[in-house]
């Protein structure tokens, strides 16, 4: 697997940055997930998902998503990283982003930085 810093950071913030997102960004993330689930569901289940999901018809959310999910994700990533750069956990050896904020082993170069007991 090739390392694409932009994509890795986007995925990282999308997966681990929920608490750093604004309320609108959180609602947007929920709407994206609801729409994705609805696309993969039966028509009856899709209708239930779309009817019950929070803020799916919110004007602000729909405006934020108007340029597409990818652009929304990039905007959220850029804002979160600008305001909270400390969220990113990087390998001390290769400086790449690791999988989680608490990871102590790099899945790119396999360097470990756990404290010995």
Q: Is 30 contained in some domain? A: yes
**pLDDT tens digits, 47-96:** 887 777 756 677 898 899 999 999 999 999 999 999 999 999 999 999 99
Q: Is residue 99 part of a domain?
A: no
What whole-number distance in Å separates Cα of residue 9 and Cα of residue 96? 10
Residue 115 lies in a domain: no
In this predicted model, which residue has the larger pLDDT, 20 or 35?
20
Within-domain flag for 51: yes
Total domain count, the chain: 1
Q: What DSSP designation does 2 have?
A: -
Does residue 24 sit within a domain? yes
Chain length of the chain: 117
29 to each of 48, 52, 94, 115, 116, how far by Cα in Å? 18, 15, 31, 36, 39
Q: How far apart are CA 96 and CA 30, in angstroms?
A: 28
CB burial of 80-90 (b: ≥16 within 10 Å; e: otherwise) equals bbeeeeebbbe
Mean pLDDT of the chain: 91
pTM: 0.83
CA distance 101 to 88: 7
- Tell me the two tokens of residue 3: 């390392």
Per-state percent for the chain, helix, strand, coil, to nearest 5: 55, 5, 40
66 belongs to a structural domain: yes
The parent domain of residue 43 ranges over 5-87
Instruction: Please report which confidence band the pLDDT of residue 14 belongs to, taking 50, 70 and 90 as the band edges.
Output: very high
Residue 16 is predicted with a pLDDT of: 97
Domain assignment of residue 58, yes or no: yes
48 inside domain = yes
- pLDDT reported for residue 116: 55
């Amino acid at each position: 697997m090739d390392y694409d810093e932009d994509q890795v950071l986007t995925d990282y913030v999308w997966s681990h940055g929920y608490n750093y997102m604004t309320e609108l960004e959180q609602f947007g993330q929920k709407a994206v997930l609801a729409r994705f689930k609805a696309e993969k569901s039966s028509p009856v289940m899709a209708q239930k998902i779309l009817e019950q999901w929070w803020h799916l018809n919110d004007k602000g959310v729909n405006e934020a998503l108007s340029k597409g999910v990818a652009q929304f994700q990039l905007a959220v990533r850029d804002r979160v990283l600008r305001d909270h750069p400390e969220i990113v956990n990087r390998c001390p050896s290769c400086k790449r982003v690791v999988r989680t904020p608490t990871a102590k082993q790099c899945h790119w170069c396999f360097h470990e930085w756990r404290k010995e007991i």
